[in-house]
């Protein structure tokens, strides 16, 4: 009798963490591509159904984008110059806002009575939109400082409030352990308070960056210069050229998205120790 040796296949090996991350990223990209395709399809169907000359199709917007890239705007200014001008203005106002809001928020968060005693002055300014400051900006400022001032107003308070709110969330036990070990107040602030508050600060920066890009159109309307995405949109608005306006809107949205993704990458790099909260 011949004995037959059963050949058993080895069980499948579980995917490595790198493979799981790669699959998740691929799935996310696929879903985003499908969402974008569905959006463009819905836009095309709506534009064709309404048949309104002021509601352009995606193809008309693409053609306007090609014209801007190849020939520039009505004044001959290239599209990249508009993009660079708006980006530099947003970054200038945003960085100035972060440079002032973070230290000021830390000080007022650490010395809470200081904030409580002056909040009647600070809080009302938070609810005044940057657009309301345009007449004062036109009177007092000109050129690049005018852009920076308006964008700074839009980005400052989200970062400032996020920093103040984040300070009380620092774990008290971490401070007490450091004090028991003989750490000074300055050491505790540098090595415990600031790293613990940084996630809130990055979150506030993301909100502030969004507000800065939303303010750019208003800021460039008052700048008195023909360069900038907002200025380009206003010029084409006066000519009722809606596809070119939509190109400007898409550019602002895309640039804001890219800056937001950069802040997310920075957050993931700085805070790898944070566990993600997931619903199982």
pLDDT for 122 equals 87
Query: In the chain, how many domains are there?
Result: 1
pLDDT for 11 equals 58
C-alpha–C-alpha distance, residues 44 and 35, integer Å: 14
What range does the domain containing 148 cover? 107-270
- Whether residue 85 lies inside any domain: the answer is no
- Whether residue 95 lies inside any domain: the answer is no
- Whether residue 24 lies inside any domain: the answer is no
- Whether residue 142 lies inside any domain: the answer is yes
pLDDT for 9 equals 53
Q: Say what the pTM is.
A: 0.80
pLDDT for 17 equals 62
**Short-list 157, 49, 48, CA closest to 93:** 157
Containing H/E element for 157?
A: helix 144-166
Residues of the chain with pLDDT under 70: 1-21, 170-191, 223, 272-280
CATH at 206: 1.10.3720.10
């Amino acid at each position: 009798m011949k004995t037959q040796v059963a050949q058993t296949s080895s069980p499948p090996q579980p995917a490595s963490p790198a493979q799981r991350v790669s699959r998740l990223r691929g799935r996310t990209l696929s879903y985003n591509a499908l969402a974008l395709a569905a959006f463009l399809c819905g836009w095309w169907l709506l534009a064709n159904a309404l048949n309104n000359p002021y509601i352009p199709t995606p193809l008309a917007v693409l053609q306007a984008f090609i014209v801007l890239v190849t020939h520039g705007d009505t004044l001959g200014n290239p599209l990249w110059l508009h993009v660079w001008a708006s980006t530099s203005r947003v970054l200038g106002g945003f960085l100035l806002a972060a440079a002032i809001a973070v230290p000021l928020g830390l000080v007022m968060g650490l010395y809470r009575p200081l904030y409580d005693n002056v909040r009647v002055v600070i809080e009302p300014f938070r609810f005044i939109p940057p657009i309301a400051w345009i007449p004062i900006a036109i009177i007092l400022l000109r050129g690049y400082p005018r852009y920076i001032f308006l964008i700074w107003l839009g980005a400052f308070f989200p970062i400032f409030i996020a920093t103040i709110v984040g300070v009380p969330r620092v774990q008290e036990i971490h401070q007490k352990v450091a004090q028991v070990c003989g750490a000074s107040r300055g050491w505790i602030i540098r090595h415990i308070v600031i790293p613990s508050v940084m996630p809130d600060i990055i979150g506030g920066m993301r909100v502030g960056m969004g507000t800065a890009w939303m303010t750019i159109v208003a800021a460039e309307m008052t700048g008195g210069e023909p360069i900038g995405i907002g200025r380009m949109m206003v010029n084409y608005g006066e000519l009722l050229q809606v596809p070119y306006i939509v190109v400007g809107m898409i550019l602002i949205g895309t640039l804001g998205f890219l800056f937001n993704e950069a802040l997310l990458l920075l957050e993931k790099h700085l805070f790898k120790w944070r566990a993600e909260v997931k619903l199982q």
